[in-house]
A and B are shown apart, each in its own frame.
Chain A
Amino acid sequence: MAGEMNVHVRSMRRAAVVGGAGLIVQLAASFYWTPLTFIGSAVVGLPLVGIGALLFLRSAFRIMKERGAL
């Protein structure tokens, strides 16, 4: 049980790191908007945040499934 929890904690951490990386990309772009930074923000930063959110939701879904909440 504890091992399974660690797996989920790790995957949630991974989700936080990916989402955080997306926010960092967007933050860097917002200091100097040029066509390239705008595209970087929209094409790299935004999807990273989305992927982070999906990773988190996936691990939350797995926890609920393991606990029989679904």
Chain B
Amino acid sequence: MLPILIIFALLAGLAIVALLFFGIEPLSQSRWGRISLLVGIVAVPLLVSAGSLSTGFHQSSRTSFCLSCHEMQRYGMSLFADNRNALSAVHYQNRAVDRDSTCYSCHADYAMFGDAKAKLNGLRHVWVHYFGQVPEKISLYQPYKSANCLHCHEDARRFVEAPPHRPILGSLYDGTTGCFASGCHNVAHDMKAVDEHRLWQAK
């Protein structure tokens, strides 16, 4: 989906700059003319650019944005894996996360500066994509933090009351038992199902 609002804002900003470009000489003769030049050439473009950057940040959290790199397309397919134990597939297929921002829902730290860290990691991906060597098997830079799972599941009834969780809730909360590391939820993306085309599609 096109961010129509920011496109209009950028077009308006561009039109203002273009108009002022031709009117600089007469406008610079009067006080109000100079003020309008200051607003039109400095304030408006800076304001519109801030909006554009903010839109860019928002857009870069979309599933389609992540999947625009071919390296990620198999991982995108894994959202449709016919495997009820594959975390990405379960979350996506059951609409446990917003489908428009599926990747970002799990691959972002919910700590302070988590968004910035995720974007910096994204920059690293782009660098590797264009100038580096994409590894055969893509893996996370560091082990997945269960805190990110708990961001949503922490006090969810299904999570708290699940029989396997009950005796270890304390250790899950303090991080000594990890969702992945425990071996209970260790299939994040079922790539085997992707390779074998075992996929699920809503009718």
Contact = CB atoms under 8 A, between A and B. Distances in A.
Interface stretch (B36-44, B91-99, B102-110): B36-44
A35 B46 contact: no
Contacts of A17: 21
Interface string B20-49: 110011001000001001100110011011
Contacts of B83: none
Mostly, the B contact residues are helix
B171 interface: no
B56 A29 contact: yes
A65 B55 CA distance: 39
B28 A57 contact: no
A63 to B, nearest CB: 8
Contacts of B2: 30-31
A33 B57 CA distance: 10
Interface of A: 5, 8-9, 12-13, 15-17, 19-20, 22-24, 26-27, 29-31, 33-36, 38-39, 41-42, 45-46, 49-50, 52-53, 56-57, 60, 63
Question: Which 10 pairs between the two chains have the least Cβ-Cβ distance?
Answer: A33-B59, A16-B21, A27-B10, A53-B42, A20-B17, A34-B68, A26-B52, A35-B126, A49-B49, A49-B45
